[in-house]
């Protein structure tokens, strides 16, 4: 069996073929990990399980933090002020922050995507723009130049990530002290960061899973996650 990768699920309103309210996570993440040779497990966002997270992570080989609604601004010391805030779910925040901190403590390979990058930044003491005030990153493709010595550049085998699919209205504001920004778009928004002290903790503001099935460049990020297990 390949490396086991943990993804935290979401509370979901509906799903076909199940009885009662479901937990869910997007198939594209699971399929991208599977193409890389990994086996994915989903942790439901049940807050009573938080104390079990460190023990659970001893049984897996890597973690993916994926996209979703907004992080509660109170998590980074602000009151909610942007009317555009959406999808704030306390259970998602509590479980994902616990998983993030435990994964870093255990030095597990960690790939944080979109909301996941924002969770990583806030978990380590950073802040977010509650709303970037632009539609330029909402269902749009961007090019992201990367620091040549970054793990992202090594994974891609190139100093630029091309055709990066962005679906976000928030972004990193103050970067957490432990993180290193390794890629930004032309408008100055951080779109990639890493934790230099970790074995492999990489974050993208874009969604590589959206095009990874047809774009080897984006799939290579999941391949690199599994290679570092």
**Residues identified as active-site:** 114, 207, 209
CA 75 from chain centre, in angstroms, equals: 17
Cα separation, 111 vs 96, in Å, equals 13
Q: Of 193, 177, 180, 42, give the one whose Cα is nearest residue 114.
A: 193
What ranges in 77-209 are assigned the alpha helix state H? 90-106, 115-123, 151-156
Nearest to 191 by CA among 228, 219, 163, 212: 163
DSSP letter assigned to residue 210: G
């Amino acid at each position: 069996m390949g490396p086991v990768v943990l993804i935290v699920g979401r509370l979901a309103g509906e799903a076909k073929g199940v009885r009662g309210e479901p937990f869910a996570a997007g198939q594209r993440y699971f399929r991208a990990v599977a193409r890389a040779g990994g086996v994915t497990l989903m942790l439901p966002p049940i807050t009573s399980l938080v104390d079990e997270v460190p023990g659970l992570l001893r049984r897996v080989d890597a973690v993916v933090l994926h996209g979703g609604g907004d992080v509660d601004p109170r998590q980074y010391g602000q009151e909610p002020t942007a009317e555009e805030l959406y999808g704030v779910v306390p259970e998602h925040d509590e479980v994902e922050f616990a998983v993030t901190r435990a994964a870093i403590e255990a030095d597990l390979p960690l790939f944080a995507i979109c909301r996941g990058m924002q969770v990583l930044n806030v978990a380590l003491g950073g802040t977010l723009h509650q709303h970037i005030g632009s539609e330029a990153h909402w269902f749009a493709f961007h090019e992201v130049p990367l620091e040549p010595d970054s793990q992202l550049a090594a994974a891609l085998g190139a100093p630029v990530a091309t055709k990066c699919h962005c679906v976000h209205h928030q972004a990193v504001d103050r970067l957490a002290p432990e993180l290193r920004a390794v890629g930004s778009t032309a408008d100055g928004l951080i779109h990639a960061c890493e934790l230099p002290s970790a074995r492999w903790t990489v974050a993208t503001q874009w969604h590589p899973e959206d095009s990874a099935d047809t774009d080897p460049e984006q799939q290579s990020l999941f391949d690199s996650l599994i290679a570092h297990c």
